[in-house]
Amino acid sequence: MLIVNLYFIIKLKLESEVMSVKKTEMMTELANATGLTKADVQKVFEATFELFKKELSKGEKVSVAGFGTFNVSHREARTGRNPQTGVSVKIPARNAVVFKSGTELKNVVNK
């Protein structure tokens, strides 16, 4: 239910052309939408994102129907170049979180 309400909050913010939504604003909107206290919403909100972090740290994919999918992509080590000095710089290998938006979210953003 939290993710569904989070989706609608983001949808409303996109429709109203607000440039960014802060965590506290999301929790206030969720509390208003669900009738839960802000403290309860904060617990659920934080538990949800802790679950996301836990699964992503294990290399698992996290999918939220209608919203999108988060997964981990491995980036190989490479040589880059400092644009100001032109000096070559070694960029170490790393894992990056990648988000692919779902169809429903794409439709909301592009309407």
| Res 26: pLDDT | 87
| Token pair belonging to 83 | 């644009």
The domains of the chain are located at 2-109
pTM, to two decimals: 0.70
Distances (CA, A) of 73 to 22, 53, 79, 94: 26, 14, 18, 9
Classified by CATH at the fold level, domain 2-109 comes out as HU Protein; Chain A (4.10.520)
DSSP-based three-state secondary structure for 91: strand
Please determine, for residue 37, whether its predicted confidence score (pLDDT) is greater than 90. yes
Please determine, for residue 9, whether its predicted confidence score (pLDDT) is greater than 80. no
